[in-house]
Amino acid sequence: MNHIITKDGVRLHVKVWGAGRPVIMAHGWPLSADSFDDLAMAIADAGMRAIRYDRRGFGHSDQPWSGYDYDTLADDMAAVIEQTFAQDAALLGFSMGGGEVARYLSRYGGQQVTQAVLISSILPFILKTDTNPDGVEQYVFDQIEADLKTDRAQFWTGFFKDFFGIGLTSHPASKEAIEWSRVVAMQAGLKPTLACVHAFSSTDFRPDLASFTMPTLVIHGNADKIVPIEKSSRKTAKSIAQATMIEYDGAPHGLLVSHKDRLIKDVVGFLIEGPRWQDRFKN
């Protein structure tokens, strides 16, 4: 199987590696499921089934005009889980993908979900409002949308430098990795790219966090310029009873590349050992 069909008829590209307990993986904006390849191979090598899919509008999936709200995206995740026969699954979300995990759990219940992993996640609510006074100002997202409409290809150049923490003396990702990311980002449609900026910036996931009733691993770099840790994962970890939080010191947003080896070790260890791994880490 290399695709599934959602309930509104959208064709989603799916990649399944390995056999065993399923791990459903939701990728970040503006990339695709291919960004998980290294982690997915490690998960499959460890005796599990890595299932990742291109979000509607991105990668090799269809690019419909609508459906970029998180209720619909959660329904898409549910379709992937159902059509890949994923039982007792772990859910893993990177960046924007954390929203799919949260909304799926609150919309469908977590009875069949054994673990959750959130990496550089946008949870719980990134936008500044009266009830979220330390969030990100709306004008930041307005400017992102304006820049994307003006020259999307040019915008990605600066964006991915921040994404991977590139500086005068810091190069945690190669120039080839940055160029590849730009190419993948350009595969997405302009409409989906813009619509998802609105979705991940304006959706309040604070009520969804109560649905994380399973052991949950939260990983975030404390030098993340895309999703600042103090506005996101530190809050999330405090709101999930069975959460273990790991902060990567000096790490950027794009941990799948910049801290690949450490991330693989932490995620696979958690998936295999669960609470025992959490207890050992806490000690």
Is 95 a known active-site residue?
Answer: yes
Could you give the 3-state DSSP secondary structure of residue 34?
helix
CA distances from 223 to 97, 165, 237, 240, 249 (A): 20, 8, 17, 23, 7
**CB of 188 within 8 A of CB of 155?**
no
Which residue among the candidates 76, 208, 224, 266 is catalytic per the annotation? 224
CA distances from 255 to 30, 101, 150, 161, 238 (A): 15, 18, 28, 13, 21
Hey, what are 89's tokens? Answer: 């699954």
Cα–Cα distance for residue pair 199/127, rounded to 1 Å = 11
Going by their DSSP bridges, the two strands 89-94 and 216-221 should be labelled as unpaired
Which residue among the candidates 32, 35, 61, 95 is catalytic per the annotation? 95
Is 261 a known active-site residue?
Answer: no
DSSP state of 28: P
CB atoms closer than 10 angstroms to residue 280: 10
Residue 237 amino acid letter: A
Which residue among the candidates 27, 220, 253, 259 is catalytic per the annotation? 253
| Alpha-helix residue ranges (DSSP H) falling in the chain | 37-45, 70-83, 97-108, 138-163, 175-187, 190-202, 233-239, 255-258, 260-273, 275-282
Q: Which residues, 6 or more positions from 180, have their beta carbon under 8 angstroms from its beta carbon? A: none
Is 37 a known active-site residue?
Answer: no
Catalytically annotated residues: 95, 224, 253
